[in-house]
Amino acid sequence: MENRPGGAIPQRDGTSYAIMPRTPAGIVSPEALDLVRRLLEYYRENARKWERTARFVERVGFDAVGKDILTFAPYISLDSARSG
């Protein structure tokens, strides 16, 4: 376990690692976090019980979700939301 990958956490078995992703401060903008919050609220209000997110978007339609979410957050364009 001498050649430990960066960010890896050695496990008890001595042969495997856990990887813990980290988001550097400043990468996620307040606007992006607000968009995520709005998307989760929309999902909570419109998804069926136990419906997975991908199935929800397939059922409702990506364009419909984007239009509804961005109606509430017009300062974030769809292209900038997709590019991260």
Q: Residue 44's pLDDT is what? A: 92
Contact 17, 10 (CB under 8 A): yes
Q: Residue 1's pLDDT is what? A: 46
pLDDT tens digit sequence for 33-69: 888 888 889 999 999 999 998 999 999 998 888 888 8
Q: Residue 55's pLDDT is what? A: 93
Domain residues of the chain, as ranges? 28-83
pLDDT average, residue stretch 69-82? 60
pLDDT tens digit sequence for 2-37: 566 666 788 888 888 887 766 666 667 777 788 888
Q: Which amino acid is at 20?
A: M
